[in-house]
Amino acid sequence: MKINENYKKLEVSYLFSTIAKKVNEFIRNNPDKKVIRLGIGDVTRPLCKSVIEAIKSATDEMGTFEGFRGYGPEQGYDFLKEEIQKYYARKNVSLDLDEIFISDGAKSDLGNILDLFSTDNTVLIPDPVYPVYVDTNLMQNRNIIFLKADQQNDFLPMPDESIKADLIYLCSPNNPTGAVYNKSQLEKWVQYALKNNAVILFDSAYECFISDSNLPSSIFEIEGAKSCAIEFCSLSKTAGFTGTRCGYTIVPFELNFDNMSLNKMWLRRQTTKFNGVPYIVQRGAQAVFSEKGQKEIKENIEYYKRNASLISQTLKKHNIYFTGGIHSPYIWLKCPNNMKSWEFFDYLLQNIQIVGTPGAGFGQNGEGFFRLTSFNTCENTKEAMERLDNLLT
Ligand code: MLT
């Protein structure tokens, strides 16, 4: 037996597991200290009423002979896909139901989609970025080219014609920087992908935070994108589903390469390796798209945005450079006094018991930066900012 040697190239543990381990150790040694977590992007607002009602009623259905469901369609129930179809129609994007695949969240599909692509492909990944893109490609030994995202390009790297890539990861609004591509920037990426016969893997998990209707919240708002892009979205941040698990992936029919349809290949992959999202969860997800559900989830998103604004105000007061926090739940800041990312992580944890995410964990160009999330409660965010204000003063 030979193991997959590629795992040797990975960091010993996943970024957020490493942080959790460090924080748990701190808590064990300092049981009297109140730690405030602004690290992993995990939500704190409960599921909205519409979702709970739908989940309860679906649970009741499952307890009856008439309403009981066993295996469902691997690609999701039509009742949910129809809602997602309408959601996209409101963005002027027309989708066929069979282009929509219900998933248990963006993370799994972003990793699993690699089953469709040769390991000979070259992958273009912005740096800093969500670590899942890099780790999943390392696991399969693909050649990775990193694209520098920094203050000069507002953390929005653009295509470089001298680089030939086959798969391109874009995340907008970006995790971790909160930067958002505008329409003309995404048009350039689509043109680059079409010219190079490449596929864009577009992660739109934070699209619900976009508050400027001129900014695209789906790659499919860009002409030509259906011939070169797959989109991954999730209800985790949109509707507080981090623990409930539901998302969706759009694989357009137009994606045909070497006489093979990526849509058909993904269907084949999912029907073979995935048994679908639970019926009860899909009923809850359906309720997110109802008029009442949309109103309720927007209230939660606004709540998190107010937290983001609290964080931004504190940083402004101390003249600390940052991005994000407007169309994103993340605030990406430069560590004061040229501290390194992990050094600042330890400094905050030890001195004021605030947990953030070291920028270096998102790639080499993240070194010297730090990410805070707005997903904690308003009370805790206020308290954390008071502590930070005092520390920096
Ligand atoms: C993050 O904090 O970057 C996210 O919560 C991680 C994830 O969505 O998997």
Backbone angles phi, psi at 330, to 5 degrees: -105, 140
Q: Which residue out of 40, 174, 235, 372 has the highest number of ligand 1 atoms within 8 Å of its CB and is therefore the one to mutate?
A: 40
Tokens of 110: 């972003």
Rounded CA-CA distance 214/9 in Å is 41
Tokens of 317: 């007061």
Do 129 and 255 share a structural domain? Answer: yes
C-beta neighbour count of 295 within 10 angstroms: 11
Backbone angles phi, psi at 223, to 5 degrees: -60, 135
Rounded CA-CA distance 56/53 in Å is 5
pLDDT at position 12 over 90 = no
Q: Is 343 helix (H, G, I), strand (E, B) or coil?
A: helix
Q: How far is the CA of 358 from the centre of ligand 1 (A)?
A: 13
What's the first-to-final CA gap in the chain, in angstroms?
58
Q: 26 with 35: CB under 8 angstroms?
A: yes
- Tell me what pLDDT residue 77 has: 98
Q: Which residue out of 104, 175, 232 has the highest number of ligand 1 atoms within 8 Å of its CB and is therefore the one to mutate?
A: 175
Domain range spanning residue 161? 51-290
- Tell me what pLDDT residue 357 has: 96
Domain endpoint, select from 290, 324, 349: 290
Do 142 and 9 share a structural domain? Answer: no
Do 188 and 314 share a structural domain? Answer: no
Q: How far is the CA of 39 from the centre of ligand 1 (A)?
A: 9
Domain endpoint, select from 224, 257, 290: 290
Question: Does 128 sit behind a cis peptide bond, omega within 30 degrees of 0 on the bond before it?
Answer: yes
Instruction: Give per-residue pLDDT as tens, 343-377.
Output: 999 999 999 999 999 999 999 999 999 999 999 99
pTM score of the predicted model:
0.96
Is the CB of residue 107 below 6 angstroms from any atom belonging to ligand 1? yes
- Tell me what pLDDT residue 59 has: 98
E strand or H helix at 374:
none
pLDDT at position 245 over 90 = yes
DSSP 69: -
pLDDT level of residue 11 (50, 70, 90 thresholds): confident
- Tell me what pLDDT residue 300 has: 98
Rounded CA-CA distance 187/174 in Å is 17
Rounded CA-CA distance 248/234 in Å is 6
Rounded CA-CA distance 67/279 in Å is 11
**Sign of the torsion formed by the C-alpha atoms of 345, 347, 353 and 354:** negative
Q: Nearest-CA neighbor of 321 among 333, 306, 339?
A: 333
Q: What is the total count of domains within the chain? A: 2
Is the CB of residue 385 below 6 angstroms from any atom belonging to ligand 1? no
Do 253 and 224 share a structural domain? Answer: yes
Q: Is 120 helix (H, G, I), strand (E, B) or coil?
A: coil
Instruction: Give per-residue pLDDT as tens, 55-92.
Output: 999 999 999 999 999 999 999 999 999 999 999 999 99
Q: 162 with 147: CB under 8 angstroms?
A: no
Domain endpoint, select from 290, 313, 345: 290
Do 272 and 136 share a structural domain? Answer: yes
Do 267 and 283 share a structural domain? Answer: yes
Q: Whose CA is nearest to atom 9 of ligand 1?
A: 107
Domain CATH for 232:
3.40.640.10
b/e sequence 118-156, b meaning 16+ C-beta within 10 Å: eeebbbbbbbbbbbbbbbbbbebebebebbebeeeeebb
Q: How far is the CA of 391 from the centre of ligand 1 (A)?
A: 27
Rounded CA-CA distance 278/25 in Å is 35
